[in-house]
Amino acid sequence: MRCGQTLTHRELDAILRRHSKDLDDPSRRISKKQMLSFYQAQKQERSPLIASLRLDDATDDALMRLLRAKPRRTASGVATVTVLTKPWPCRNDCIYCPNDISMPKSYIADEPACQRAERCFFDPYLQVSARLTTLANMGHNIDKVELIVLGGTWFDYPASYRTWFSCELFRALDDAGTERSLAEVRRRRRLYEDAREPFDAQIQALQDELQHSVDAGMMDYRCAFQALDPLRQAALPQLDEDVSEEELARLQHANEHAHARCVGLVVETRPDTVSVQTLTELRHMGVTKVQVGIQSLDDAILAQNGRGGSVDEVARALALIRLFGFKSHVHMMANLMGSTPEDDVRLYRMLMEDERFMPDEVKLYPCALVASARLTEGFQAGRWQPYGEEELVGLLSACVLATPEHTRISRMIRDIPSQDIVTGCKKTNLRQMVEADVCQKAGERAVREMRMREVATSAIDPATLTLRTSAYDTTNTREIFLQWVDGEDRLAGFLRLSLPDQHTLSEGIPVGEGQAMIREVHIYGRTSKIHEAKEGNQHLGLGTRLVERACQLAHDAGYDAVNVISAVGTRAYYRRLGFEDAGLYQRRPLRFGSEGR
Ligand code: SF4
């Protein structure tokens, strides 16, 4: 590397394999992970070895990239950190929904994110700190972080818990990489462990007994939760959950200049909880994307699966989410009871094409039976069967081909470990199977869906990019989708501009007349450090040019100002682009041409 030659991942792996091959003593083998931590430690200590190497920034970057584990973790441009809320019931009781009482409703203890949460006592501060440490140790940049809060329905938790949880997320980000973080992690762990220890055996025994009753269909999640909760409460330390909204605002303000900045915050909830009031609360919390479980767009199928709510409710929720400027991320399921592959494709097309829905992102996964779900009864009675593999791949391929260029399919299979699936698809590579099927049937160029077109970890030559603009109408907005694409239609970045229909701005909507909304700006490529134009496609000015173009388009469409639903950690960036803080958003007045800017 220092003699001007680059080394690929494959070449380094081969060197390490050759080195380890003839060693009798396994402890002398060297892994990339060990090399990375050695290199990071030497840099931190400013060791004589590092000084003697006299590495410039470019070589340091190349080395870090070479040693970094799982480069796709930050391929979408940000480090993603998933945190879970504590075990809690849900108002609904959908028949396919897992009932693992050690987790919030619908999650399973064996899922990787759930295991991490449990090891952290579901404490948001501990979860964020642990994940950031892991990612940093793997060589990833952690200065731009997207937080994803999972745990069923956010608004089913008490308001005080929601405020505390939000505060602790930002506190953890603000402290990241400091001595304060290390001390606080130690302090909290000790508190949780000491409080839990006297009750541990008792909790485990009761939990096992209750879970057994739930699995046997003799008790539901809610009853088991209520029976277990007093003991769980007794085993919790006295943490200060009584934090105020002022404290949240203070922590958010600090995050604007913190080492680990929040560039996206996502929560999940049910459509029936979406209202002007709840969405306003989410904006105060700094949320930028809302995940909603819709599962099906057929009222009869929803009812058959014990799911409360209706298709109209989904339409109303998505319309409100759009008007507020949030990104919408919906969960849809194939193979629900009462559905067929043809129904699934038809309903998916409706989701993509009907102007009441048209979400930005979709998790589309097949229903699978887990032991604790009520679906067991339907399966045993022969009322539900999983689709065959070919049928499933075929229907998902049809869905991929029906997905427009402004929608991203983020997942095709849920992260349920195969040992927990009684019957249903266990293929963790289902997505790859579907992609291969799509390419074989229609060719890669037929795919418009975003994720398959993303440039992922590659750097791209900006000279090969063109800015393409398209538009579509929803019930209450005209959506303009701007994207940077290369000659092969690979996606290097995009922006979502929303032009609200002025007649649909009802009371309580925090968007004024004549105000357009930038709902999302995203540049792909390896994450680069904030303020350092060193890596990947970020910091090539692609984002700024998207914003400028969007402002021009909004102006041409007759709007006087553009709001941006900025994340807390991107506020400083938008201020530099001429946006001013304006309540729940940041706003830029539009004056072009002879009006001057
Ligand atoms: S709404 Fe979601 S969390 Fe609640 S029961 Fe249904 S699937 Fe489970």
Mean pLDDT of each 10-residue bin along the chain, 597 residues long: 60 71 70 67 70 67 62 67 96 94 95 94 97 91 95 91 96 96 96 96 97 94 97 88 84 97 96 96 98 97 94 97 97 97 98 98 96 94 96 97 97 88 93 94 89 80 91 97 94 96 85 96 66 49 94 97 98 96 97 56
**What pLDDT is stored for residue 73 in this prediction?**
55
Considering only CA atoms, which residue is closest to atom 6 of ligand 1? 94
Structure tokens at 535: 């890596």
What is the position in ligand 1's atom list of the atom closest to the CA of 153?
Answer: 3
Q: CA neighbours within 13 Å on the CB side: how many for 191? A: 15
Query: pLDDT value at position 138?
Result: 87
What number of other Cβ atoms are within 10 A of residue 424's Cβ? Answer: 24
Class of the CATH-defined domain 454-595: alpha beta
CA distances from 385 to 209, 337, 412, 493 (A): 29, 8, 19, 41
pLDDT digits (tens, 9 = 90+) for 264-288: 999 999 999 999 999 999 999 999 9
Å from CA of 194 to ligand 1 middle: 33
CA of 39 relative to ligand 1 center, distance in Å: 46
pLDDT per residue over 422-457, tens digit each?
999 999 899 999 999 999 998 878 899 999 999 876
Ligand 1 pocket test: which of 88, 92, 291, 310 has the largest number of ligand atoms within 8 Å of its C-beta?
Answer: 92
Residue 500 confidence (pLDDT) = 96
Say what the pLDDT of residue 34 is.
Answer: 67
What's the CA-to-centroid distance between 418 and ligand 1, angstroms? 21
Calculate the alpha carbon distances from 368 to 8, 99, 115, 416, 420 in Å.
40, 14, 20, 9, 10
pLDDT of residue 5: 62
Instruction: Give the per-residue pLDDT at 49.
Output: 74
Assign residue 256 a region (left: φ > 0; alpha: ψ between -120 and 50; beta: otherwise): alpha
Nearest atom in ligand 1 to the alpha carbon of residue 270 is 1
Closest atom, ligand 1, to C-alpha of 105:
3
Same fold for the pair 290-453 and 454-595: no
Taking the C-alpha atoms of residue 122 and residue 126, their distance in angstroms, rounded to an integer, is: 8
Closest ligand 1 atom to residue 306 Cα is 6
What is the pTM for the complete model shown?
0.87
| pLDDT score at 597 | 39
CA 88 to ligand 1 centroid distance, Å: 11
pLDDT recorded at residue 535: 45
Residue 539 CA, ligand 1 centroid: distance in Å: 40
pLDDT of residue 442: 87
Name the closest-CA residue to atom 1, ligand 1.
92
Domain boundaries, the chain: 9-67, 70-269, 290-453, 454-595
DSSP state string for 283-314: HHHT--EEEEEEE-S-HHHHHHTT----HHHH
Looking at domain 290-453, its CATH architecture is 2-Layer Sandwich (3.30)
Write the pLDDT tens digit of every residue in 44-99. Answer: 666 777 777 766 666 666 666 666 655 555 555 689 999 999 999 998 899 999 99
Q: Which atom of ligand 1 lies nearest, measured to the CA of 295?
A: 7
How much is the pLDDT for 529? 46
452: CA distance to ligand 1 center in Å? 29
Give the ligand 1 atom nearest the CA of 98: 8
Residues within a 6 A CB radius of ligand 1: 90, 92-94, 97, 105-106, 152, 270, 293, 307
